[in-house]
């Protein structure tokens, strides 16, 4: 059993702490938000993540997982301190490191024994060196510590599985012995461990997310070309994916990427490139294509309805992806904003993101289920590919709607089947199957 402090109980920190506790370690999770810590002590989760509540409850009962607002308490016996605080987008697209600075300064104030500090947050290249400088300035050269970068690769909706069964664990440090200590923590996961220097480890995280975002924007650009040429992007992507050099992952055309990672990280990487005299033209195109995908949905709505003003449109899905309640940079938000600006009466439903939606959305009627949502609507737009939406009773949906029309922003329906039920239909890049004018 190792003693570990995890600073920040957001998405990454809470999953990291709970999973390390489940591996048999003693974990103290710290956050300066007293309300969040109080809720966690009562067993209330601040986020929705499948399996997380049960994992936290099990390890709290086992005496391996604790919560506090005190750095002194969290670090009293800690051998490792994982920094997992937020790094929100700054004014110019750069990562805002104010919370990382606060964490580093607070660690320095109570540091009185050897400690390995692990950057788990997604931070710009060079942040590991910067954190070390902050602590040295506060404590002097006598402080015994090392900094290790250990970027997270957790997908919302499958974070626990991703932590316990990672494709790889990336570690970077200028102190090989410290990196080896952190590697030992991850040995029970039986994963490939990549050990490199600090800046390379930090760059691996940004490069990975930027590449995945690029794949999404690439297939969306292909989808738009498919529409013009009469090809079906789903079949194109399937045919491409059998090539082992390409694979099938992240080749689903739709309304673009969102969430807390891809939008922020691509912008941050482009900002880093700009500030160092490089021209990140591919990254700029990735972001532009992603933004344009929202416009495509509104354009398809106009194709089906003509003038949008006064029409009623139902939005199926608000979270940026299934199995999460996260609405950060969610495509639904920008689509709804454009519809409202066009004079549309917007209704919306999501299986788990309704609580967040109430705080974020204004001028939108939130409905308790898809069938209530459909009543009197002129158009439904599928924005999030929840399994619940794939199995809707479309015959019932059609009877409830004023005008039977669907914009399938995630291509979850079979176009001929939906059309045979009497719907006007538009998919994303479906060519002859989904983009014809024979509705």
Neighbours of 34 (CB within 10 A): 9
From the candidates 19, 29, 261, 367, which is the catalytic residue?
A: 261
29 in active site:
no
Q: What is the 3-state secondary structure (H, E, C) of the chain?
A: CCEEEEECCCHHHHHHHHHHHHCCCEEEEECCCHHHHHHHHCCCCCCCCCCHHHHHHHHHHCCCEEEECCHHHHHCCCCEEEECCCCCECCCCCECCHHHHHHHHHHHHHCCCCEEEEECCCCCCCHHHHHHHHHHHHHCCCCCEEEEECCCCCCCCCHHHHHHCCCCEEEEECCHHHHHHHHHHHHHHCCCEEEECHHHHHHHHHHHHHHHHHHHHHHHHHHHHHHHHCCCHHHHHHHHHCCCCCCCCCCCCCCCCCCCCHHHHHHHHHHHHHHCCCCCHHHHHHHHHHHHHHHHHHHHHHHHHCCCCCCEEEEECCCCCCCCCCCCCCHHHHHHHHHHHCCCEEEEECCCCHHHHHHHCCCEEECCCHHHHHCCCCEEEECCCCHHHHCCCHHHHHHHCCCCEEEECCCCCCHHHHHHCCCEEECCCCHHHHCCCCC
Radius of gyration from C-alpha coordinates of the chain:
24
Question: How far apart are alpha carbons 19 and 122 in whole angstroms?
Answer: 19
Which neighbouring-strand residues pair with 346? 313, 364
Q: Strand 145-149 and strand 169-173: pairing?
A: antiparallel
Which class for 425: exposed (0-12), middle (13-18), buried (19 or more C-beta within 10 A)?
buried
Report CA torsion sign: 181, 148, 49, 155: negative
For residue 328, the Cα-to-chain-centroid distance in whole angstroms is 8
Q: Are 241 and 247 in contact (CB under 8 A)?
A: yes
Task: Report, as residue numbers or ranges, the catalytic residues.
Answer: 261
């Amino acid at each position: 059993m190792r003693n570990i402090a995890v600073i920040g109980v957001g998405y990454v920190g809470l999953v990291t702490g709970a999973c390390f506790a489940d591996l048999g370690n003693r974990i103290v999770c710290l956050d300066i938000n007293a309300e969040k810590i109080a809720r966690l002590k009562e067993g209330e989760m601040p986020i929705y993540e499948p399996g997380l509540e049960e994992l936290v409850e099990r390890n709290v009962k086992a005496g391996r997982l604790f919560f506090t607002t005190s750095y002194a308490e969290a670090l009293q016996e800690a051998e490792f301190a994982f920094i997992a605080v937020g790094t929100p987008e700054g004014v110019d697209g750069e990562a805002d490191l104010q919370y990382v600075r606060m964490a580093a300064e607070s660690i320095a104030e109570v540091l009185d024994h050897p400690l390995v500090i692990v950057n788990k947050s997604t931070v710009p290249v060079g942040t590991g060196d910067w954190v070390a400088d902050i602590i040295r300035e506060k404590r002097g050269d006598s402080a015994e510590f090392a900094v290790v970068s250990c970027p997270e690769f957790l997908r919302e909706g499958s974070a626990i599985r991703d932590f316990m069964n990672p494709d790889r664990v990336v570690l970077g440090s200028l102190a090989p012995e410290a990196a080896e200590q952190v590697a030992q923590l991850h040995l029970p996961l039986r994963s490939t461990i990549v050990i490199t220097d600090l800046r390379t480890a930090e760059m691996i995280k940004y490069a990975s997310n930027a590449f995945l975002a690029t794949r999404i924007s690439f297939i969306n650009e292909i989808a738009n070309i498919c529409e013009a040429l009469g090809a079906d992007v789903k079949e194109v992507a399937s045919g491409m994916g059998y090539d082992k050099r390409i694979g099938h992952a992240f080749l689903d055309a739709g309304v673009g990427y969102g969430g807390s990672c891809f939008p922020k990280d691509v912008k941050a990487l482009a900002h880093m490139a700009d500030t160092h005299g490089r021209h990140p033209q591919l990254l700029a195109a990735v972001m532009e294509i992603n933004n344009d995908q929202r416009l495509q949905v509104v354009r398809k709505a106009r194709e089906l309805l003509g003038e949008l003003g006064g029409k009623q449109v139902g939005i199926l899905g608000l979270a940026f992806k299934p199995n999460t309640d996260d609405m950060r940079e969610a495509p639904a938000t920008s689509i709804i904003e454009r519809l409202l600006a066009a004079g549309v009466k917007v209704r919306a439903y999501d299986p788990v993101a309704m609580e967040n939606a109430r705080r974020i959305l204004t001028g939108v009627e939130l409905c308790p289920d898809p069938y209530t949502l459909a009543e009197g609507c002129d158009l439904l737009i599928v924005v999030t590919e929840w399994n619940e939406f794939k199995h809707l009773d479309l015959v019932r949906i059609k009877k409830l709607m004023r005008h039977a029309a669907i914009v399938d922003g995630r291509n979850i329906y079979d176009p001929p089947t939906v059309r045979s039920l009497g719907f006007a239909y538009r998919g994303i890049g479906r060519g002859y199957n989904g983009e014809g004018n024979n509705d």
